Structure 1
C-alpha cells in the first residue's frame, strides 16, 4: 500500500533554484526572511514558517508542490507540508 508521503515523493524532481540568493517573493517586495526552503518540484525558493510572510508554505498549498528541502548551508533535510513530516 502506498502512503500519502510516498505519493508526495512523486513530485520531487532535480531542480535548479530560481532565486539562489533569497526568497523569490521577499526579494521582489523587500520583505525580510529568516530561513529558506527550496521547492523540489519547480525550484521556487521561499521563506520558512518562522519568516513573516511564510512564502514556502504558501507556494506548497497554492501551487500544489508539497515537498521542500532546507536551502540553508549545511542542512539537507526534506519536509512535506501536506503530511507535516520529514522525508
Structure 2
C-alpha cells in the first residue's frame, strides 16, 4: 500500500508550533477529508479551535506504508505521525 503524506504545522493555543504528518491512503485526494482527519486529531489534543487549512497542511509526498501505520490506517482511515510539540 502506498500512502500520501500531508505535512502539517499548526499554531497551538500557547503560540508554539505543532508539527505532524497526516498519513492517508494515496487514493484520498480530497483536502477536506485530510483536514477532517487533522481536525479530529487536534480536538484529541485540546486544540479544537486551531486553524487547519492549506496554510497549515499541504501534500508532501507518496511513500510505502510502514507496518506500524498500516493497522491504524485500516482501522480509522489515517495515521498521525507526531513530529514536534504534539503533547
TM-score of the aligned structures, taking structure 1 as reference length:
0.32
Relative CO higher for 1 or 2, CA cutoff 8 Å, sep ≥ 6? 2
TM-score of the aligned structures, taking structure 2 as reference length:
0.32
Q: Which structure shows the bigger proportion of residues in strand conformation?
A: 2
